[in-house]
Structure 1
């Protein structure tokens, strides 16, 4: 992980947040290459799950919502983590995570505070920092960021930064259904920032306090004969393998046991990726029943039912929720892509084998030497209209090839001494390092074919 993090910083993918002031813990900025990768990943998700799926539509809801939204959803009363401090070194830990790291088969989510504390002392789970087993009492740590709206700071002005994007979809269910005259089943997709005041964020961008979610809420009639839960598990699985090219051997689908489920959930599957630090949750697909619309209907007193046109009965739709964090998906792609290859006895290279639809630059255009700069520039201006391209003429050609390997550019086009004579260029392939001579007249078709 350290090698990957250093590489991503040096190549312009991800920087430490507020670095010139000593940084801000667990804060990360996406550099010029990182933001290109991030935007392409979000577009790939949006195209697959929203734009190209006739069942689904999109939404962009507010980050700050009426506090009653979080009261109804249970976040104000129940969105807390069990916090303990080591009395010896004063480091702070999530008590449930200490148990899970001690024994991954234990489901600490069903344990109360007394059970958690008893388990820690019975098994002498030591502080990861100093090795002591002397802790404070467990305290509840609120995970939502609280702020104030308006000129006065009092309880009446308290609002929260949203800890998830889902509730913005639920409270707009009726607006969307009425305005577009949607019939069940249909889904609503959203990409947006969420905020959680995590006690122990870490593992680079895996767990952060400010993150982006790509979330879909799929509404359906429980009596529908289709197995929509299975449909969305399969759809996510297909997207991972075929759209963003995550290798099947690098992830697994884990169905939750009954005692792991949230009180409102009928079924949940986690897709877990094998990160360098171990298996970690990448994507969750949850059958939430009709819990969300029911609680908002009760507190808001609004009619959030759906009139079934077949028999004119009113129902509260159930929901399947496939939800993924943008940062975790990016981290999975980067971990899979990063390779250190030995070319021969004296040479090696770092290469990022990112999929062609996610990589920051699809092609790079280079002059072999300064004499070909004018010709290479002209070619660059022509190709950038149809491709995500970069231009590079600094350093010798070997170093420039390595530079493009290191950021993942699949194809490098070189104008050389013969290009003006034979109207052709040399195209180099990132993964194989093979080269092919291609006529300029056929170059665009050649590139499109090899980038598809």
Structure 2
């Protein structure tokens, strides 16, 4: 995993946000190659989900919605996790995701280094009256308490009480800052004598009229706009509404690079169907979505579908599948396909007072549609295909055996489709290369002109960023009008007429 993270920074895929100021935890910026790859992935999803079907349309909804949307959906009351702070390593984590242990079980606490282990040994003895034995950076002799878990970072059983944290980002809407009125109320003594729930209620009273939230998912806008879209487009059940865009969650555990972050992009679709047909469509979308992920993969065996147990299901779901990928740390979720029943539409109808139904003109009946939701993570998809594509191999070079690093990205996902290289910077070769790059641009093909370093280093550079093909203008080009085309994965080279180069690349892209 560390090699992929290093490549991402070195080659301009992903950078830590605000890095010159020390970075911001769980925030990332997509560099020149990363933004191309992410857009290629999301465009491929859009083409497959919306542009290749007649029964799915698109939506691009506001990130900030009326707070009542989140009251109706249950996010304001239920979108929280039980959190615990480790008193040894200070890690904050979700209690329901922590490693399980038996009460009284002996556990090993492992710190990052010997110095921290020594400090923790002293701290535990002073704060908890427990004497442990240290072996390097490990502390032995601790026992689990009444709670059936330990810290996932260090293994410590010394933890704070569980507390619920809301995962939604809060902001204020409108030009007037409610903090001014709040400050005045504090100065005038309005809060004197208040504490606990009474204090919280009084504080909320000053901010509730202007409080809004950044959306934690794109799904709710598709439910709220269901009636507008169905009526304006004269859509008949079954049909879907698709949306791709940013969502925000105040994640407790941020981990594995861009896999889980506070700001991320989703590719979601809500498919509305007649009650009684939902099981059929549930299976259909499971197979369809699994097939889509596999078609871009070098190793499709690293994708699987996992069925949720009844205990895992969200309160609104009748059933759920996860498309999972085998990441370097193990199997983890890439996309969820959920049968959300009619829960969301009925909740919004109840809270808004609007009729959110479908009238079947053939059967002459009204009903609330059921919803099948394939919800994929775009940023997780980028990480998935980076892991799938990363490849190292030993090749013979002019100085002996060398390690070639290559990203075997599917051509549809590759940031740069083709590199054009003059063998030398003279004899008219750069001019011919520039003209070929311009011809590729005119056909909508993202090409790169590269004349830096020796030709072998240029090939390696484009292998590492996943460029599928390299076109080289050399001495023979000046003699017979042919160029070399090199394949990234096989490194095989062949000559083609320079006049056919654009058509050749277009053919190769279509064949993939």
| TM-score, scaled relative to structure 1 | 0.93
Pairwise mapping of residues 405-444 of structure 1 onto structure 2 (< 5 A)? Answer: 405-444=463-502
1:370 is matched with: 425
C-alpha RMSD of the superposition: 1.8
Q: Which runs of 5+ in 2 are unaligned?
A: 103-143, 179-206
1:66 is matched with: 66
Q: Deviations over 1:321-356 (max 9, x none)?
A: 000111101100000001111113521211000000
Q: Distance in 1 between matches of 2:476 and 2:321?
A: 57
2:168 to 139, 144, 165: 144
1:340 is matched with: 392
1:16 is matched with: 16
Structure 1 residue 376, shift from structure 2 partner: 1.6
State the 4+ residue runs in structure 1 displaced beyond 6 angstroms. Answer: none
Structure 1 residue 446, shift from structure 2 partner: 2.4
Structure 1 residue 129, shift from structure 2 partner: 4.1
Structure 1 residue 208, shift from structure 2 partner: 0.5
Q: Residues 336 and 101 (structure 1 numbering): CA distance in 2 closer, same or farther, change over 3 Å?
A: farther
Q: Structure 1 residues 164-173 or 307-316, which shifts more?
A: 307-316
Q: Deviations over 1:300-325 (max 9, x none)?
A: 01011111212322101000000011
Structure 1 residue 51, shift from structure 2 partner: 1.4
1:199 is matched with: 252
Structure 1 residue 167, shift from structure 2 partner: 0.3
Q: Residues 241 and 100 (structure 1 numbering): CA distance in 2 closer, same or farther, change over 3 Å?
A: farther
Q: Is 1:310 aligned to 2:362, yes or no?
A: yes
Secondary structure at the residue paired with 1:347? strand
Q: Distance in 2 between matches of 1:262 and 1:437?
A: 57
| TM-score, scaled relative to structure 2 | 0.82
Q: Structure 1 residues 151-160 or 213-222, which shifts more?
A: 151-160
Q: Structure 1 residues 135-144 or 81-90, which shifts more?
A: 81-90
Q: Distance in 2 between matches of 1:208 and 1:218?
A: 27
Structure 1 residue 259, shift from structure 2 partner: 2.3
2:125 is matched with: none
Q: Deviations over 1:352-396 (max 9, x none)?
A: 000001101111000111122122222222222222100000111
Kept in 2: contact 1:306–1:315 (CA 8 A): yes
Structure 1 residue 90, shift from structure 2 partner: 3.0
Kept in 2: contact 1:368–1:414 (CA 8 A): yes
Q: Which runs of 5+ in 1 are unaligned?
A: 103-119
Secondary structure at the residue paired with 2:355? coil
Q: Distance in 1 between matches of 2:100 and 2:152?
A: 13
Q: Is 1:189 aligned to 2:213, yes or no?
A: no
Secondary structure at the residue paired with 2:464? helix
Instruction: Please identify the structure whose Cα radius of gyration is greater.
Output: 2
Q: Distance in 1 between matches of 2:21 and 2:54?
A: 48
Q: Deviations over 1:180-200 (max 9, x none)?
A: 111111000001110000111
Q: Distance in 1 between matches of 2:457 and 2:437?
A: 20
1:133 to 140, 150, 157: 157
